[in-house]
Amino acid sequence: MTDQELVQRAIDMEERAYAPYSHFPVGAALLCEDGTVFTGCNVENAAYGSSICAERTALVKAVSEGRRTDFAALAVAGRGEDYCWPCGACRQMLYEFAPRLRILAVRGDGAWQEVELSQLLLHGFGPEQLGEKE
């Protein structure tokens, strides 16, 4: 799958967003090394703090389907003028499973920028800090 195709999967997921409070639909598409894609959207809640972002929706879908490793890239798309960078909570959640993940942040006109997750979460706290992983 090309980056352009992954970005389009994220953009398509904006339609599924449930964002009646922020009116800020977000879509995400998480690509595995074997080509599998897990998608997500933000799902808000009347108790605002119970909302979940698009990226974490995609990630928990993947993990709950048995995937924990070999994530290659994540595209996240919003409709704003600025690139839709993952929030702090999403950076942390993703770091647990893929500190070197390629992040493609997409803005409303379809343009995107790419950075590695470890650049978005410098000196991130991960399983290795707890002696859990190499």
What's the token pair of residue 107? 């803005």
Total H helices, total E strands in the chain: 4, 5
> Which is nearer to ligand THU, 8 or 42 (by Cβ)?
42
Closest distance of CB 93 from ligand THU, Å: 11
Closest distance of CB 132 from ligand THU, Å: 27
Helix, strand or coil for residue 31?
strand
Angle of the 54-64 helix axis to the 88-97 helix axis, nearest 10: 20
Query: Any catalytic annotation for residue 55?
Result: yes
Cβ of 104: how many Cβ atoms within 10 Å? 23
Q: Which of residues 16-35 bind ligand THU (CB under 6 A)?
A: 19, 22, 24, 26
Q: Tell me which stretch binds ligand THU (CB under 6 A): 4-12, 84-92, 93-101, 111-119.
A: 84-92
| Cα–Cα distance, 123 to 134 (Å, whole number) | 15
Query: Which of 7, 29, 72, 84 touches ligand THU by CB under 6 A?
Result: 84
Q: Binders of ligand THU: how many residues, by CB under 6 A?
A: 15
Q: Tell me which stretch binds ligand THU (CB under 6 A): 1-9, 61-69, 82-90, 124-132.
A: 82-90
**What phi and psi values does residue 102 have, to the nearest 5 degrees?**
-80, 125
Residue 39 contacts ligand THU per CB under 6 A: no
Q: Tell me which stretch binds ligand THU (CB under 6 A): 3-11, 49-57, 65-73, 96-104.
A: 49-57
Q: Where are the beta strands (DSSP E) in the chain?
A: 27-32, 37-41, 71-77, 102-106, 112-116
> Active-site positions?
55
